Amino acid sequence: MTTHPMNSLTRVRTVLAGGVPDRVPVDLHNFMMVAQTSGIPFPEFFQNGEAMAEGQIQAWREFGHDVLLLENGTAALAEACGAAVEYMEGSAPVCHGPAIQSLDDIDKLVVPDPHKVHPLTENLKATRIVANEIGDKAFIVGRADQGPFSLAAMLLGMEEFLFRLAQADGARSGRRNSGGDPELAKKLHRLLEFALEVTTRYAYAQIEAGAHMTSIGESLSGPDVCSPKSYRTFEWAYAKRMVNNLKAHNIELAYHICGDATAIVPDMVETGAAVLELDYKIDMSLVKAATRGRTTVLGPVDPSGVMALGTPYDVEDAAQEAIALLGEGGGLILGPGCALPPRTPPDNVHALIEAAKKYGVYP
């Protein structure tokens, strides 16, 4: 029998289908790195689809990674819905003002058309250019920005959202234990319904632009911020519905929660997401047990302490450990568990790629 070498597309698709590829594929969550390398001021770069695309293509030519994850940060959908966003010097744009002042203003929100509203048009332009240029050579993930929970928090304001969430969920107030507020919970669910519609529509647009897969970030719902109870009450069902809506159109979703998400990984698996993007803080052995044969893990190398601040030897050691614990029988796309800092040394990125080739080859 003749065995043909895999390219990036077949390698990644084999993993997603539950098979064992020739070696562990590699993803780079490097949108801030490419902004730094471009020499273009960050506020200009992250509003320029051509620049974002060219930066990603140049990085792929240098590093040869299998998966390109395309985005311009965490605030694109919030801005499109009317939230105030600041384009930072030296970092990704951030949301710093809500779109509505209270939950009674939900009816004022309008679902944006991603083909007409800034900055979604520029992000989709970047996806289109990258897909047209190298979409037959590498696996393209067009991020649909934030998932329903995180987007809802930005639209209301994170502090206000989390405060109302605690009230609705029956959190303690001083020494008295509240039983929760059903009417407040209904309002929160209305906001989450709106956010689900917004992010799902953008997900479809990313696929229409040529991405092979789409992705959402929901780190605000993770155990580093919210209790597993709040996650299961106010996040899980919306992630599940989004997965199901997309699957009905043969679209696969990657689901990102950074921090130590170990306690909710079994729940994340139950959403049916094709990929779980997980951070270095997870218990890799427990995660492997929960995900084996059911989904793919993307990560979990430390983007800051190892990739940005460590040496190539540190990167190799972290990659080797991740492959040993998560790569058995497939089910792993190696990469940073969250976004790489802008000044991550290229030598460390090369070390990550080489570690996959050295330790990630399957017999």
pTM, entire model: 0.95
Residue with tokens 């329903």: 148
Res. 4 pLDDT band, cuts 50 70 90: low
Name the band, by pLDDT with cuts 50, 70 and 90, for residue 92: very high
Q: If you search the block for the tokens 């384009």, which residue do you land on?
A: 87
Q: Tell me what pLDDT residue 176 has.
A: 43
Higher pLDDT, 179 or 235: 235
**CA-based nearest residue to 37, from 16, 63, 1:** 63
Examine the pLDDT at 205 and tell me if it is beyond 70: yes
- 228 vs 3, which has greater pLDDT? 228
* pLDDT at residue 52 greater than cutoff 80: yes
pLDDT in tens, 215-270: 999 999 999 999 999 999 999 999 999 999 999 999 999 999 999 999 999 999 99
Sheet-wide strand order for 139-146: 27-28, 67-70, 139-146, 213-217, 253-257, 275-278, 296-301, 332-336
Neighbours of 134 (CB within 10 A): 18
- Per residue in 98-126, pLDDT (tens digit) is 999 999 999 999 999 999 999 999 999 99
Residue 174, pLDDT above cutoff 80: no
List, in order, residues 6 or more apart from 309 with CB less than 8 Å away: none
Look at residue 178 in the predicted model and tell me its pLDDT.
53
Q: What is the pLDDT at residue 179?
A: 63
Percent of the residues in the chain that have a pLDDT greater than 90, as a whole number? 94
pLDDT at 1 over 70: no
Output the CA torsion sign for 142, 295, 340, 351. Answer: negative
Q: Is 332's pLDDT higher than 80?
A: yes
Residue whose structure tokens are 């991020």: 143
Residue 60: what pLDDT?
A: 98
- pLDDT exceeding 70 applies to what percent of the chain? 96
Element (H, E) at 150: helix 148-156
Q: What is the mean pLDDT of the chain?
A: 95
- The answer, yes or no, to whether residue 173 has pLDDT greater than 50, is no
Instruction: Check whether 71 has a pLDDT greater than 70.
Output: yes
User: Which of the four pLDDT bands, split at 50, 70 and 90, describes residue 175?
Assistant: very low
pLDDT at 2: 36
pLDDT attached to residue 180: 76
Q: Which amino acid is at 118?
A: H
pLDDT of 5 reads 79
